[in-house]
Structure 1
Amino acid sequence: MRTAIICAAGYLAFASPAFAEVKASSDTGFNVVHIASVQASPDDIWKRLIAPKDWWNKSHSWSGSTDGFYIDAQANGCFCELFQEKGADGKVKTVGSVEHMRVIFAQPGKVLRMQGGLGPLQSEAVTGTLTVAMEPSKDGQATKISFSYVVGGYMRYKVNEIAPAVDTVLGDQFRRLLKPFTPATEEAPSADGFSLDVENLEDAKPSEGDEKAPDVKSESDAGDEQAATPN
């Protein structure tokens, strides 16, 4: 089985400029982000996304093959890999399996969020959360897509060594996912201001001019108040 999360030599390069970096790191975790814009609809990207056997790099599988890869794109669904081999009768049978990640949020064409430690992180006491977000352009001709992987907890790796390795491998998967689609821009998209980037969530604020709704009291409430008022 191949458990190393180092970069495989000669991985496919994505033709479009893309934003990629270890966005944050500390002694206990890190965040890597990849963003690109392609000429494709969110639905087209989603269909390819949930068929990882078509784009995941087999060099980063446990079985050496992606034939048994699948994503059950619903809450508590599995991003899993089946170990398959041919029996004496020539039929393919499953002889084992491994969970790469677990789906915790799925909104087709918008967001797929999964939790799990990829590669050697699976054996560590960490939580890894991968958010795949998609946002169509205003004219509907392109889609901005991002991978944001946040890892935190105790690990037996040095963050300054494992974070760049994870960034490289995740970037490889990101490029392979987007390989069939034409780049939509000649400039690398910015990570700032991406409405589906969950790094800077804020509570919704009322719009200007919104008035506070008046308190509405029921007849029973009014009666209770009257009864409580001394004569």
Structure 2
Amino acid sequence: MKISLLAATLLVALSSPAFAEVKASSDAGFNVVHLTAVEAKPEEIWKRLIAPKDWWSKAHSWSGSSDGFYIDAQANGCFCELFQEKGDDGRLKTVGSVEHMRVIFAQPHKVLRMQGALGPLQSEAVTGTLTVAMEPSKDGTTTKISFSYVVGGYMRYKVAEIAPAVDKVLGEQFRNLLSPYKPSQDENLASPDGFSLDLENLEDAEPIAAPESGSNNSGIETSDGQPDVSPQ
């Protein structure tokens, strides 16, 4: 039992992003960032990225299932979810749909940028922009990848409460996306300030030391009093 518990603890530690935090926040909005490196090629990660049904948690869906999730990875393409039910003939039929985000920039194996207010933010007057950026190492053995989600506008939530909650949910999806790949042992990762999250040319990153083992990678604390960011 102790061995199993230790193995589970180690797995969680290895699968956690090397950098994750609410990078900035104010009354006008917030920015959350997740950054890590894995032993995989950008082509592999991109293929998995645009198949969200394989990694997006059904706990954060509108239908209770991730089977209907898809991303049309081109400008004006949809990151959408289909509501599906079995008909009398036993076949699945689509009975509704929801747009999570819309693609505004797609450069395969490098950058996918989408706009949309995720989860409960959909009912608020906010704009959310998610940039997924990736950059291979010079030897091609690892890939640095980040999620950067910027939200701004009027909302009825308190930023101090909703920002850490959104950060937690996005972190879960980030880990799910990268779960098939071994974390990189490279201790030099770029900081969000150096890694060009919002540019297409990602070659000018300045490395910093990775967090020490055992440190709180999230940079934030969560509590039971935070809002539930599930759509339902």
Q: For the Cα contact (< 8 Å) 1:78–1:103, is it kept in 2?
A: yes
TM-superposed deviation, 1:44? 0.3
Listed one character per residue, the Cα deviations across residues 186-218 of structure 1 (whole Å, up to 9, x for unaligned) are 648332321x3228x9xxxxxxxxxxxxxxxxx
Task: Compare CA radii of gyration and give the structure with the larger one.
Answer: 1
For structure 1, the residue ranges without an aligned partner over 5 or more in a row are 1-11, 202-231
Q: SS state of the match for residue 130, structure 1?
A: strand
- Offset from partner CA, 1:27-86 (integer Å, 9 cap, x none): 010000000100000000000000000000000000000000000000000000000010
3-state SS of paired residue (2:89): coil
Give, as a single letter, the amino acid of the residue that structure 1 aligns with 2:194: G
Deviates more, 1:181-190 or 1:66-75: 181-190
Q: What is the match of residue 3 of structure 1?
A: none
Matched, 1:87 2:102: no
**TM-score normalised to the size of structure 2?**
0.78
Cα separation, 2, equivalents of 1:86 and 1:160 = 42
**Which residue in the other structure is 1:193 paired with?**
194
Give the secondary-structure state (helix, strand or coil) at the position aligned to 1:113: strand
Query: Helix, strand or coil for the counterpart of 1:129?
Result: strand
Q: Which residue of 2 aligns with 1:31?
A: 31
Q: Indicate how the Cα distance of structure 1 residues 122 and 188 shifts in structure 2: closer, same or farther if over 3 A, else same.
A: farther
In the alignment of these two chains, the number of paired residues is 188
* Partner residue, 2:59: 59
SS class of match (1:198): coil
Partner residue, 2:212: none
Supply the distance in 2 between the matched residues of 1:74 and 1:13 (Cα, whole angstroms).
Answer: 33
Tell me the equivalent position of 1:123: 123
**Letter paired with 2:127:** T
- Aligned-partner residue type, residue 192 of structure 1: D
Compute the RMSD of aligned alpha carbons. 1.7
- Output the CA distance in 2 between the equivalents of 1:34 and 1:74: 23
2:137 counterpart of 1:137: yes
What SS class does the counterpart of residue 144 from structure 1 fall into? Answer: strand
Structure 2 gaps, min length 5: 1-10, 202-232
SS of equivalent to 2:44:
helix
Provide closer, same or farther for how the CA distance between residues 64 and 13 of structure 1 changes in structure 2, counting only shifts above 3 A: farther
Runs of 4+ in 1 over 4 A off after TM superposition: none
Match of 1:148 in 2: 148
Cα shift at 1:15: 1.9
Partner of 1:45: 45
Asked whether the 8 Å contact 1:75–1:106 carries over to 2, the reply is yes
Q: Aligned AA for 1:52?
A: P
Match of 1:103 in 2: 103
Question: Structure 1 residues 54 and 188, CA, compared in 2 at 3 Å: closer, same or farther?
Answer: farther
Q: C-alpha separation between the residues in 2 aligned to 1:168 and 1:78?
A: 24
